Amino acid sequence: MSAAVRRSTDRTTKRATDRAARLPARLTAVTAAELAKLRTLPAAVATALATVLAGAVIAAALAVYAADRGTPVSPVAAVVQAIPYVQAGLVLVGIWPVAHEYAGVQIRTTLVAVPDRGLLLAGKTAAALVAVALTAAATVGAGLAAAATAGEPSWTGTDPRTALGAAAYLTLLGLLSHAVALLLRHLVPALVGMLSLVLIASPLLGGLTGHARWLPDRAGALLYDPAADTVLTGATGTLVLLGWIALIGAAAATRFARSDP
C-alpha cells in the first residue's frame, strides 16, 4: 500500500471514529430540540395535561363509587380501572411529535437542520418516548393520589408493581402510536387507526375469539393485569407488544429513510 493511499485510509478512519464519538452528543442535541418543539406545541401540552387530569378525576370517581357501594377499593385498583379511559390520551401524546410536522412543511425544515435521517428518527423517537413516559407516570401518580384522598380507600392486597405495570403499559402504547404515526404520517389516519384498535376492535374481538390476546393492547395490558389471560403472562405479553412496536417501527423507519417528506 502506497503512502498516499495509507494516509487517505487513515483520514477516513479518523473521520469515522470522530463521527461515532460525537454520536451520543448529537443524539442528545436532536432529542432536546425535539422536546423543545413539543413544549411549544399547545396541542401536545394540552393533551398531556388533560390526560393527567382525566386520570385523577376518573380514579377518584371510581374510588368514591366503590366506597358508596360499601366495597372500597385500593387506589391502585382504581387506577387500573381507569386505564381504559385514559389510554386514548397516551395514544394522542405519542402521535403528536410526528403529526404536527407532517401537517405542514415543518418536516422539510427539520430535515434541512438535521439531514441525517437516521439520527433525526432516533432523536424524534427518543423525544416521543420521554413525552409518553412522563405523561404515563404523571397520569398514574395523579390517579393514585386522587383515589387515595377520595372515598374510603382499602389498602388490602395492594401491590405497587401493578401501578408500575400500568405506567409501563401506557408508555408502550404511546410508543406504538408514535410508530404508527411515523408510518402513516398524518394525524387523522394514525389517531383513527389506534383508537379503533383499543376502543372498538380489541374489546369486540376479545369477546369473540381467544386469538385477540395477540393484539398489542390486550397483550400489553397483562403488565398490570397478568391474570386476565391463561396463555400469556405479563412478560410474554410485554414481548408481544414490543414485537408490534418493532415491526411497525421498522416499516416506518424504512419509509422515513427512503421516501420524500
**Contact (Cβ atoms closer than 8 angstroms) between residue 151 and residue 68:** yes
Q: Which of 22-31, 32-41, 132-141 has the highest mean pLDDT?
A: 132-141
Alpha carbon distances (Å) from 206 to 53, 198, 210, 212, 217: 29, 11, 7, 5, 11
Encode pLDDT of 108-153 as tens digits: 888 888 888 889 899 999 999 999 999 999 999 999 999 988 866 6
Query: What pLDDT is stored for residue 23 in this prediction?
Result: 63
Encode pLDDT of 142-199 as tens digits: 999 999 888 666 666 567 789 999 999 999 999 999 999 999 988 899 999 999 999 9
Q: Examine residue 2 and state whether it is found in any structural domain, yes or no.
A: no
**Contact (Cβ atoms closer than 8 angstroms) between residue 229 and residue 223:** no
Indicate the angle between helix axes 117-149 and 42-68, nearest 10 degrees. 30
Q: Examine residue 236 and state whether it is found in any structural domain, yes or no.
A: yes
Query: What pLDDT is stored for residue 51 in this prediction?
Result: 96
Q: Examine residue 17 and state whether it is found in any structural domain, yes or no.
A: no
Percent of the chain with pLDDT over 70: 87
Encode pLDDT of 40-70 as tens digits: 889 999 999 999 999 999 999 999 988 888 7
Q: Examine residue 15 and state whether it is found in any structural domain, yes or no.
A: no
**Contact (Cβ atoms closer than 8 angstroms) between residue 216 and residue 176:** yes
C-alpha closest to that of 75 among 17, 162, 136, 13: 162
Query: What pLDDT is stored for residue 10 in this prediction?
Result: 46
Dihedral, CA atoms, 110, 116, 119, 120, nearest 10 degrees? 20
Q: Examine residue 35 and state whether it is found in any structural domain, yes or no.
A: yes
In angstroms, rounded to a whole number, what is the distance separating the alpha carbons of residues 78 and 76? Answer: 5
For the residues 79-108, what does the mean pLDDT come to?
A: 89
Q: Examine residue 8 and state whether it is found in any structural domain, yes or no.
A: no
In the chain, the DSSP E strands lie at none
The total domain count for the chain is: 1
C-alpha closest to that of 172 among 211, 214, 135, 120: 135
In angstroms, rounded to a whole number, what is the distance separating the alpha carbons of residues 22 and 226? Answer: 42
Range of the domain at 89: 24-258
Query: What pLDDT is stored for residue 150 in this prediction?
Result: 80
**DSSP-assigned letters across all residues of 83-137:** HHHHHHHHHHHHHHHHHHHHTSSHHHHHHHH---HHHHHHHHHHHHHHHHHHHHH
- ∠ at Cα 108 (97, 95), nearest 5°? 15
Dihedral sign of CA atoms 125, 43, 137, 59 in order: negative
pTM here?
A: 0.88
In angstroms, rounded to a whole number, what is the distance separating the alpha carbons of residues 175 and 130? Answer: 10
Encode pLDDT of 221-255 as tens digits: 999 988 888 888 889 999 999 999 999 999 999 99
Q: Examine residue 7 and state whether it is found in any structural domain, yes or no.
A: no
Query: What pLDDT is stored for residue 71 in this prediction?
Result: 81
Checking if the pLDDT of 15 tops 80, the result is: no
Q: Examine residue 30 and state whether it is found in any structural domain, yes or no.
A: yes
In angstroms, rounded to a whole number, what is the distance separating the alpha carbons of residues 243 and 248? Answer: 9
